[in-house]
Structure 1
Amino acid sequence: MKICVVALGKIGLPLAVQFAAKGHEVTGADVSERVVAMVNEGTAPFPGEADLDVQLKRAVEAGLMTATTDTAAAVAAAEAVVVVVPLFVDADGVPDFGWMDAATQAIAKGLRPGTLVSYETTLPVGTTRTRWAPMLEQGSGLTAGTDFDLVFSPERVLTGRVFADLRRYPKLVGGINERGTARGVAFYQQVLDFDYRADLPRPNGVWDMGNAEAAELAKLAETTFRDVNIGLANQFARYADTIDVDIDTVIDACNSQPYSHIHRPGIAVGGHCIPVYPRLYLWNDPAASVVRAAREANAEMPEYAVQLLADAYGDLTDAEVLVLGASYRGGVKETAFSGVFPTVAALKARGAQPYVSDPMYTPEELAALGLPAYHGQPVTAVVVQADHAEYRTLGLKDLPGVRVIVDGRRVTDPERWAGIRREVIGG
């Protein structure tokens, strides 16, 4: 097949390379001239994605992968179009469709009869049918479900391990009609590979969800579940702090029983998914009080961690505090909704002087993010915000003068911090 992938970001580019690895001719469309140039050179435009550099170079050299800024032209030459353009949500949980609208309008200009269009960006329920279908029809003069097929198939992968996750998790597909759904299922069966998993209720592979709304809800439900579960774990942890109980011991005990799957508490919930998709769900279902309460509970955790520091340290006025980790999670160079921002803000609100260090970022990059970069200044307190592997071997010998450490991720070695006060959430 000839396939167009719209948006060559951290999900779209590995997806395009996966399609090419199956022998299909793939054109990636992106608004960034820099990204397009690097892809055409066979160079990954971002670090950290396992095996992407090797597979991208192989696909380009084989003539199976090219990139362009002309989305309409790429769509016009394609039999299938896969859309992975970012969707943003504002502070009030209102979706900002700006980038996706622009991409959809460009797709419509190049749309030809017989094309399959699949949206993979996580969406509020109903968006595929009520927003994208009319927009594609208006821009192309074609009829969705008759002249072209339209489906929703959510991405379910984690950056850094996209290729492995594409094999491990079932691909969910739902269209605006039965014909489109069947065609979407057939498409993904041709472009993906799957590992066998005995723990699934149905065989691994491509799952027919019946319609677009079911596929849209499935993605919102699975990510919202994680946010609610973490929110519950954080509530348990905060209570455990009041009764001198180690919540990790409690969670281990609970999860030894097959009906309990409690997640782990922590200083923040970050990334493009978990902090965002519950808000999309709430946009559909504003009466979902459980979802709203969990989101609020998780958003409070950076302030709670700073309160733990203040309780252990005392007055934080003029205290020089090192925040370890700008990334939203360990091993990933990404700060989307990272807990570093509210943690720094909470420290400043208490009169402290925060600094930020991260093994994946230079001081200049941190400064560009608006963060006070650490340059080796003496510090008297530490807050661990991200679970980078490097922090497992960090200790008091590396930061002499520290009086208190709050490990918001339980990643540090207590023995390396012996002699000072070490606090954990739920400990």
Structure 2
Amino acid sequence: MNICVVALGKIGLPLAVQFASKGHRVRGADTSKRVVDLVNDGVAPFPGEAGLDAALGTAVSAGLLTATTDTAAAVAESDAVVVVVPLFVDADGIPDFGWMDDATRAIAAGLRPGTLVSYETTLPVGTTRDRWAPMLAEGSGLTAGSDFFLVFSPERVLTGRVFADLRKYPKLVGGIDAASAARGVAFYESVLDFDDRADLPRPNGVWDLGSAEASEMAKLAETTYRDVNIALANQFARFAGTAGIDVTKVIEACNSQPYSHIHQPGIAVGGHCIPIYPRMYLWNDPDATVVRAAREANADMPAYAVSLLADAYGDLTGANVLVLGAAYRGGVKETAFSGVFPAVEALRARGAVPYVADPMYTTDELIADGLPPHEGQPVTAAVIQADHAEYRTLAAADLPGVRVLVDGRRVTDPARWDGVRRIVIGA
């Protein structure tokens, strides 16, 4: 097949490489000339994706993957189009469709009869049928479901391990009609590899959920579940901390039987997914009080962690405090909705002078993100925001002068912090 992948970001580029690895000819379309030039040179435009560098080089060298800024032209050459353009929500939880609208219009301009279009970007329920189908039809002059085929098939992978996750989890597909669904299932069966171990709870592969709406809701539901579960763990942790109980032992005990799957508490929930998709769900279902309360509980955790610091340290006015970790999670160079931003603001609100350090970021990169870089300034307190592997061996000697450490991820070794008040969430 000829396949177009629209948006060569941290999900789109690995997908394009995966499709090429199955022998298909892939055109990647992106609005960034820098990204396009790097991909055409066989160079990944971002670090940290396991296996991407070698696989990208192989695909480009074989002539199976090229990139362009002309989306319409790439679509016109393709039998299938996969869309992975980001979608965010604003401060009021309203989706901002701007980038996706632009991409969809460009796709419509190149759309040919018989082409399959698959949206993988997480969407509010009803968007594929009610927004993209009419927009594609209007821009192309073709009829959805007869002239071209349209499905929603959510990405279900984590950055850093995309190729492994593509093999591990079933691929969900929902079409706007039966013909679209059949085309979508056949497409994904031809471009993905699946783990067929006998011990999997259900057969892996491509699952037709019966409608685009069901597929859209499945992605929102699985991510919202994680947010609600983490919020529950955080609520347990906050109570345990007041009662002198180690919440991790409680969670381990609860999860020893098959009906409990409590997640781990922590200082923040970040990234492109968990902080955003519950708000998309709330846009569809504003009466979902459990979802709303969970989102508010998780959003409050950075300020809560800073309150723990203040309780142990005393008045933070004028205190130099180091926040360790700009990334939203360990080992991933990404600050999207990272807890570092509300943590810094909470410190400033208490009069502290915050600094930020992260082994994955340079001083200039921190400044570009609006974060105050730590450049050797003396500090008397520290907060661990990201669970980078480097922090597992961090010790009091590495931060001379620090009197209080709040480990928001339980990543540090308590034996290395003699002489420092070390605080964890939920103990």
TM band (smaller chain): over 0.9
Which letter maps to 1:364? D
Q: Matched residues in 2 for 1:88 and 1:124: separation?
A: 11
Describe how 1:374-393 pairs up with structure 2 within 5 A.
374-393=374-393
Paired residues for 1:63-142 under 5 Å: 63-142=63-142
CA–CA separation in structure 2 for the residues paired with 1:47 and 1:116: 31
2:7 alignment counterpart: 7
TM-score (ref. length: structure 2)? 0.99
SS for the counterpart of 2:396 is coil
Write the letter of the residue equivalent to 1:413.
D
- Partner secondary structure for residue 249 of structure 1: helix
2:280 aligned with 1:297, yes or no?
no
Quote how far apart the aligned CAs of 1:26 are.
0.2
Aligned counterparts of 1:250 and 1:173: Cα–Cα separation in 2: 38
State yes or no: 1:233 paired with 2:244.
Answer: no
Equivalent in the alignment of 2:209: 209
* Deviant stretches of 4+, over 2 Å: 196-202
CA distance in 2, matches of 1:197, 1:275: 33
**What percentage of aligned pairs have identical amino acids?**
80
Q: How does 1:330-409 map to 2 (within 5 A)?
A: 330-409=330-409
**Which deviations, in whole Å up to 9, do the C-alpha atoms of 1:79-117 show, x marking residues without a partner?**
000000000111111000000000000000000000000
Shift of 1:364: 1.1
Q: Which residue of 1 aligns with 2:36?
A: 36
Q: Shift of the alpha carbon at 1:201?
A: 4.8
Q: Secondary structure, in 3 states, of the residue corresponding to 1:397?
A: helix
CA distance in 1, matches of 2:346, 2:398: 25
Question: 1:146 and 2:152 equivalent?
Answer: no
**Displacement, 1:196?**
2.3
- SS of the equivalent of 1:113 reads coil
Deviates more, 1:194-203 or 1:288-297: 194-203
Q: Partner of 2:181: helix, strand, or coil?
A: helix
Please list, as runs of the form range in 1=range in 2, the aligned pairs for 1:408-419 lying within 5 A after superposition. Answer: 408-419=408-419
Secondary structure of 1:343's aligned partner:
helix
Unaligned runs of 5+ in 2: none
Q: Could you tell me how far apart the structure 1 residues matched to 2:211 and 2:258 are?
A: 32
CA distance in 2, matches of 1:258, 1:251: 13
1:266-321 Cα distance to aligned partner (Å, 9 max, x none): 00000000000000000000000000000000000000000000000000000110
Map residues 210-289 of structure 1 onto 2, 5 A cutoff.
210-289=210-289
Alpha-carbon distance between aligned partners in 1 of 2:306 and 2:198, rounded to the nearest angstrom: 43
Aligned amino acid, residue 121 of structure 2: T
Question: Which residue of 2 is the match for residue 329 of structure 1?
Answer: 329
- RMSD value over aligned CA atoms? 0.7
Q: Are 1:314 and 2:314 an aligned pair?
A: yes
What is the distance in 2 between the residues matched to 1:147 and 1:15? 26
For each residue in 1:144-188, what CA deviation from the matched residue of structure 2 results, as whole angstroms up to 9, or x when unmatched? 001000000000000000000000000000100001101100000
1:12 positional shift: 0.2
Gaps of 5+ in 1: none
Distance 2:241 2:308 in 1: 10
The one-letter amino acid paired with 1:64 is L
Distance of 1:403 and 1:121 partners within structure 2: 45
Compute the displacement of 1:199 (Å): 5.6
Residue 202 of structure 1 deviates from its aligned partner by: 3.0
Shift in CA distance, 270/364, structure 1 to aligned 2, threshold 3 Å? same
Q: Counterparts of 1:58 and 1:289 in 2: how far apart (Å)?
A: 49
SS of 1:53 mapped into structure 2 = helix
